[in-house]
């Protein structure tokens, strides 16, 4: 993936990124997820949740030390925000850092962390003694740090997921991201990743649609290809219409992002709409394949199960609806 420029496509080349614009970044995510949402997740985390915060909030030394190695894939990174008891409400986090001279002592745990068991570094969000959220870079061999794998996933099986456990981990002060304080730090990274997801989900939908279209032209029932029946055509016509609408949404959002004008609420709307669209298409495409659709000969069921994660992570389907609700009414329905 590093060789094709999938890690940090829109970050500057001098720091290990691809130097491309936001639409190129989006199309790369679309094509990776045409393969598998887990593959795209790996690239999203590496580029948007690890390289991006170091690029945006890191010191010059941190950028030079980590970004080229992350861009080339020599280092794998992960992003620790979610905790066992704090998912949709990250502000409740209990992971914390305490001042100890030339270092901070980090304690706590993170849950559902993409790449964590194989990561060389983790960008971890923790509260300082004043309760302000800070970002720290934790390296895999720091004593007291472990990253056990989470087993038994029916979804995103091509992506490794784990925990992050911090037991009095001594993190040197030079590993704190100096230019960010507060939850807006992790949320700005999530905006970047969610934008990529709005594109990525289209890739999963395209793969399901392509497979269903081909199958409908080959599979014969009642003496005709099933693609000749109006009910099959309705499914395919509606699929390609929804895919085209989702692409237009992502493309327009990409134009705004290129101008630095894509708002978090607009990104929420696109992530929510496009992931839901892809999940619906995976289900419809599975139906067109009949019984064969439930097997691993065809991609629909795999995409469908992957998209259940994509619907939930980086802000759940319902939380993004509440963000749109807040945007249009000015009234906060979160709690």
Ligand X SMILES: Cc1cc2nc3c(=O)[nH]c(=O)nc-3n(C[C@H](O)[C@H](O)[C@H](O)COP(=O)(O)OP(=O)(O)OC[C@H]3O[C@@H](n4cnc5c(N)ncnc54)[C@H](O)[C@@H]3O)c2cc1C
Kindly list the catalytic residues.
314
For residues 163 and 284, which CB has a smaller minimum distance to ligand X in the complex?
A: 163
Please tell me whether residue 64 adopts helix, strand or coil conformation: helix
For residues 101 and 335, which CB has a smaller minimum distance to ligand X in the complex?
A: 335
Please tell me whether residue 178 adopts helix, strand or coil conformation: coil
Residue 251 burial by Cβ neighbours in a 10 Å radius (0-12, 13-18, 19+): middle
Cβ partners under 8 Å of residue 329, min gap 6: none
By CB under 6 A, name the binding residues for ligand X.
45, 78-82, 87-88, 112-114, 156, 161, 309, 312-314, 316, 318-319, 334-335
Provide the H-helix boundaries in 124-229: 184-218
Please tell me whether residue 4 adopts helix, strand or coil conformation: coil
Compute the least distance from the CB of residue 80 to ligand X, in Å: 6
- Given a contact cutoff of 8 angstroms between Cβ atoms, the answer to whether 165 and 150 are in contact is no
For residues 17 and 38, which CB has a smaller minimum distance to ligand X in the complex?
A: 38
* Residue of minimal Cβ distance to ligand X: 87
For residues 66 and 313, which CB has a smaller minimum distance to ligand X in the complex?
A: 313
Compute the least distance from the CB of residue 167 to ligand X, in Å: 19
Compute the least distance from the CB of residue 273 to ligand X, in Å: 16
Phi, psi angles (nearest 5°) of residue 7: -100, 110
For residues 170 and 317, which CB has a smaller minimum distance to ligand X in the complex?
A: 317
- Given a contact cutoff of 8 angstroms between Cβ atoms, the answer to whether 162 and 150 are in contact is yes
**Distances, alpha carbon 277 to alpha carbons 126, 203, 246, 272, in Å:** 34, 11, 8, 9
Side-chain half-sphere of 40: how many Cα atoms within 13 Å?
30
Cβ partners under 8 Å of residue 277, min gap 6: 201, 205, 242, 243, 245, 246
Compute the least distance from the CB of residue 45 to ligand X, in Å: 5
For residues 21 and 327, which CB has a smaller minimum distance to ligand X in the complex?
A: 327
Compute the least distance from the CB of residue 56 to ligand X, in Å: 17
**80, containing H or E segment:** strand 77-80
Compute the least distance from the CB of residue 112 to ligand X, in Å: 4
């Amino acid at each position: 993936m590093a060789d094709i420029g999938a890690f940090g496509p829109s970050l500057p080349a001098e720091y290990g990124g691809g130097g491309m614009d936001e639409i190129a970044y989006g199309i790369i995510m679309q094509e990776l997820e045409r393969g598998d949402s887990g593959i795209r997740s790996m690239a999203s985390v590496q580029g948007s949740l690890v390289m991006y915060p170091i690029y945006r909030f890191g010191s010059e030394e941190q950028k030079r030390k980590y970004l080229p190695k992350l861009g080339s894939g020599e280092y794998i990174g992960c992003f620790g925000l979610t905790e066992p008891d704090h998912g949709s409400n990250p502000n409740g986090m209990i992971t914390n850092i305490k001042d100890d001279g030339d270092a901070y002592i980090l304690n706590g745990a993170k849950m559902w962390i993409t790449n964590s068991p194989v990561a060389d570094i983790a960008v971890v969000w923790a509260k300082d003694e004043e309760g302000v959220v800070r970002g720290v870079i934790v390296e895999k061999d720091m004593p007291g740090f472990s990253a056990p794998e989470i087993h038994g996933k029916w979804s995103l099986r091509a992506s490794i997921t784990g925990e992050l456990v911090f037991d009095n981990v001594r993190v040197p002060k030079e590993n704190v991201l100096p230019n960010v304080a507060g939850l807006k730090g992790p949320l700005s990274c999530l905006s970047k990743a969610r934008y990529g997801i709005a594109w990525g989900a289209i890739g999963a939908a395209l793969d399901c649609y392509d497979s269903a279209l081909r199958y409908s032209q080959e599979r014969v029932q009642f003496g005709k290809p099933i693609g000749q029946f109006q009910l099959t055509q309705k499914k395919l016509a509606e699929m390609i219409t929804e895919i085209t609408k989702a692409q237009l949404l992502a493309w327009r959002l990409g134009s705004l992002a290129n101008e630095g004008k894509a708002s978090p609420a607009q990104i929420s709307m696109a992530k929510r709409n496009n992931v839901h669209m892809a999940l619906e298409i995976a289900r419809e495409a599975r139906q067109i394949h009949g019984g064969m659709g439930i097997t691993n000969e065809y991609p629909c069921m795999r995409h469908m199960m992957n998209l259940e994660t994509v619907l939930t992570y980086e802000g759940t389907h319902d939380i993004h609806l509440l963000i749109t609700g807040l945007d249009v009414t000015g009234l906060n329905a979160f709690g």
